[in-house]
Structure 1
Amino acid sequence: MIVALLNQKGGVGKTTLALHLAGHWARHGKRVTLIDADPQGSALDWSEQRARRHHARLFGVVGLARDTLHREAPELARDADHIVIDGPPRIAALLRSALLAADAVLVPAQPSPLDGWASAEMLALIAEARIFRPALVARFVLNRCAARTVIARDTAQSLADHDPPALATRISQRVVFADAARTGQLAFEQSATSAAAREIASLAVETERLAP
């Protein structure tokens, strides 16, 4: 399964969710490769930070920030159970290539009024990709949700009949996720029974159900 985390807006948590999904699956015995398709290389930086701190390797991270991604990702998928693509912001050619490579697309977004983050251009790119990949599945993921906020509830309700809809799992705003980049460790490594680890596990289960 090839899962791409994409949003033209930066700072919505694509890299954090990509790393945690890859880590969850690797922890459960899956062969996982994460493709860093963002020219900023945040996932590659995380991998290097992890190595510097002598943490065990969980999964491979490969830099492929180019618009041939849709041709190269399937080759990598032959030797993996899951490919996770950490996509770029605002680069249409790379976004198109990632969309064409993916079986499922997750669009991380922070709770806000629908027109604030469900950009017409992103939705248009998904619709365009479905011309060539009719089976492409897309879902929003509500990320960095403050606990019990009205806006998170209202955003989730507004997406109930939207295309694409939102997954049921919501990822909270937690220090442990922010610390992942600094420490090179994922939430479950700091506490396998934490609320953060449970949220990622729930997200992973929902994502796997999207597989064609």
Structure 2
Amino acid sequence: MIVALLNQKGGVGKTTLALHLAGEWARQGQRVTLIDADPQGSALDWSEQRAREGLQRLFGVIGLARDTLHREAPELARDADHVVIDGPPRVAGLMRSALLAADLVLIPVQPSPFDGWASGEMLKLINEARIFRPQLAARFVLNRCDTRTIIARETAEALADRDPPVLAATIGQRVAFADTARTGRLVSDSDETSLAAHEIAALAAEVRRIAR
């Protein structure tokens, strides 16, 4: 299964979710490869920081920020149970290549009307990709979300009427996630019983159910 986290809007948490999905599946004994398709290389930086901290290597991270991704990712998938693609920002060729590589696209959005409007262009690209990959599945993921707020509920309700649908699992706005970017850690490294770790486990389980 190849899962790509994509959104043309920056700052929605693609890298954080990609790393945590890969880490959760790896913790379950799955063979996982993460492809860093973002020219900024944030996932590669995280992996190098993890090595400097002397932490266990859970999964491989490969830099592949080029528009041949759709040809190279399936080769990597032969030796893995899951391939996770940390998608690029607004780089059209890279984005289209990632879409053609994926079995499932996750579109992280934050509880804001601006994120909802920005997702329209992403949906156009998904529909273009489905001309060549009609089986391509897609879902919205509510990230950095406080479900108790009105804006979060309104965003969830707005996405409920959209195609693709929104996942039931949501990821909260938590300091634990922000800390992982600079420490090379995952939230489960610090406390696998935390709310953040439970949210990631629920997300990983729901994504696996969809991909079966």
| TM-score of the pair, normalised by structure 1 | 0.97
Superimposed CA distance per residue, residues 176-203 of structure 1 (whole angstroms, 9 cap, x where no aligned partner): 1000011111001110110000000110
Q: CA RMSD in A?
A: 1.2
> One-letter code of the match for 1:144?
R
Superposed CA offset, 1:150-207 (max 9, x none):
1111111112221111101110000110000111110011101100000001100111
One-letter amino acid of the structure 2 residue matched with residue 71 of structure 1: R
User: For the residues of structure 2 that align with 1:109 and 1:66, how far apart are their CA atoms?
Assistant: 24
1:55-204 matched pairs, under 5 angstroms:
55-113=55-113, 116-204=116-204
Q: Which amino acid aligns with 1:21?
A: L
* 1:46 counterpart letter in structure 2: W
Deviations 1:107-148 (A, max 9, x none): 001011277444332111000001111110001100001251
Q: Sequence identity, in percent?
A: 77
Secondary structure at 1:100's aligned position in 2? helix
The CA deviation at 1:71 is 0.2
Q: Is the 8 A contact 1:43 1:86 kept in 2?
A: yes
The aligned length equals: 212
Contact 2:67 2:93 in 1 (8 A): yes
Task: Kindly provide the amino acid, as one letter, of the partner of residue 55 in structure 1.
Answer: L
* Alignment partners' CA distance in 2, 1:115 and 1:30: 32
| Bigger strand share | 1
CA-CA distance at 1:105 after TM superposition: 0.2
The 8 Å contact of residues 8 and 118 in structure 2, kept in 1 or not, is answered as no
Aligned partner of residue 17 in structure 1, secondary structure:
helix
> Take 2:122 and 2:147, find their aligned partners in 1: how far apart are those partners?
27
5+ residue gaps in structure 2?
Answer: none
Query: Which of 14-23 and 113-122 deviates more?
Result: 113-122
CA distance in 2, matches of 1:35, 1:198: 24
Q: Report the TM-score when normalising by structure 2.
A: 0.97
What code does the residue aligned with 2:149 have? T
Amino acid in the other structure paired with 1:63: G
CA distance in 2, matches of 1:141, 1:115: 11
The unaligned stretches of length 5 or more in structure 1 are: none
Query: 1-side partners of 2:155 and 2:161: how far apart?
Result: 12
State the match for 1:17 in structure 2: 17
Alpha-carbon distance between aligned partners in 2 of 1:21 and 1:156, rounded to the nearest angstrom: 21
AA paired with 1:101? A
Matched residue SS, 2:169: strand
